[in-house]
Amino acid sequence: MTGRAEDTSGLALRPIGHLHTPFRARADCPRNGRQLSPAPLCHASVLPDYHAGLRALDGFSHLILLYWMHEAAPGALLFTPPFDAEPRGLFATRAPWRPNPIGLSVVRFEGFEDDARLRVRYLDCIDGTPLLDIKPYLPTTDAEPDAAMGWLAPHATGKPQD
Amino acid sequence: MTGRAEDTSGLALRPIGHLHTPFRARADCPRNGRQLSPAPLCHASVLPDYHAGLRALDGFSHLILLYWMHEAAPGALLFTPPFDAEPRGLFATRAPWRPNPIGLSVVRFEGFEDDARLRVRYLDCIDGTPLLDIKPYLPTTDAEPDAAMGWLAPHATGKPQD
């Protein structure tokens, strides 16, 4: 371990925009963004300071959105999911109450609504969630269609629809 | 947009551990974690406070690691990649100098070295990088093997090797 790894100053985030979904409260959110069929249209709005960074997004069919799950209070590291009978470690789940509540969704990108707003599907977060990053989805490094799902295998929902 | 979306207090991160790779400096890092063949063994070490959250990770073949690219200074929102001829928006690239320098790698998980350390492959970050989150990779929501890669399509490297 190097000295620089201990320098944790500056780990502060700045929202680059917000996510707009039909889900007004946590209780309205689906278990994942592919559970609803059809998946509702959502929007990612980007603040003016960051518009220049959106150039050349056209042509990507999918994006990775990172966001701050601002209503998720820190929670138990070990818990029994509602659809399960055994306690599972938080890092073996996608529960929102993480030490760093950074949400991740692989979304379908359907172009720009206007200069500031992207049309996307497969979000499962609440309306108004702060957006942290937009990354292009690259199947060459991000797609592992045959990955084994451990304890979640019998509970999986949300097969890709396209 | 709701009022709560404007509350940006508390967007502070805490490392849950560190990543250990053979790459000592930025110049040593491959373009992506699947570029080197064979992909070197790396480790994710998790701080004692978070060990309980690792239970039930066994059985997942792949994980998503989020980390803080602590040596990435904020950079241009529009730039011409070295292997390209046109300026591209930062959010259409995986360049590290992002407004929020959160790195994401889909890694192969090869079990525990000991209680505190995970054996992983496909990392491309420098040794000592602070770890922010571990999520199980779920092909049902995370795998889009046919995704279109936009301007990056002719430049893609790092086809999944397994």
- Cα–Cα distance, A115 to A128 (Å, whole number): 19
Output the tens digit of pLDDT for each of chain A's 162 residues. Answer: 333 444 445 688 999 999 999 999 988 999 888 989 999 999 999 999 999 999 999 999 999 999 999 988 889 999 999 888 999 999 999 999 999 999 999 999 999 999 999 999 999 999 999 999 999 999 999 999 999 999 999 887 665 443
CA distance A53 to chain B (A): 4
- Cα–Cα distance, A136 to B148 (Å, whole number): 10
- Residues B43/B120, Cβ–Cβ less than 8 Å: yes
- Cα–Cα distance, A98 to A162 (Å, whole number): 30
- Cα–Cα distance, B90 to A149 (Å, whole number): 32
- Cα–Cα distance, B54 to B134 (Å, whole number): 9
- Collect all residues with Cβ–Cβ distance below 8 Å to A133 and sequence separation of at least 6: A16, A64, A65, A66, B91, B98, B99, B100, B102
| Of the partner residues B53, B149, B152, the one whose CB lies closest to the CB of residue A89 | B53
Q: CB A143 to CB B135 under 8 A? A: no
Judged by DSSP in three states, A155 sits in helix
| Of the partner residues B56, B87, B106, the one whose CB lies closest to the CB of residue A55 | B87
- Nearest of A3, A67, A61 to residue A29 by alpha carbon: A67
pLDDT in tens, B50-106: 999 999 999 999 999 999 999 888 899 999 998 889 999 999 999 999 999 999 999
Q: What ipTM score was computed for the predicted complex, to two decimals?
A: 0.91
Q: CB B149 to CB A143 under 8 A? A: no
Confidence (pLDDT) at A155: 84
Q: How far is CA A116 from CA A47, A48, A104, in A?
A: 7, 7, 21
Structure tokens at B61: 């073949």
Chain B neighbors of A105, CB-CB under 8 A: 141
Q: CB A56 to CB B88 under 8 A? A: yes
Neighbours of B7 (CB within 10 A): 12
Chain B neighbors of A151, CB-CB under 8 A: 56, 59
pLDDT in tens, A144-153: 999 999 999 9
- Residues B50/B17, Cβ–Cβ less than 8 Å: yes
CA distance A3 to chain B (A): 8
pTM recorded for the entire structure? 0.91
- Nearest of A135, A134, A126 to residue A24 by alpha carbon: A126
- Nearest of B76, B99, B75, B97 to residue B87 by alpha carbon: B76
Residues 48-67 of A with CB under 8 A from B: 50, 52-62, 64, 66
Confidence (pLDDT) at A6: 42
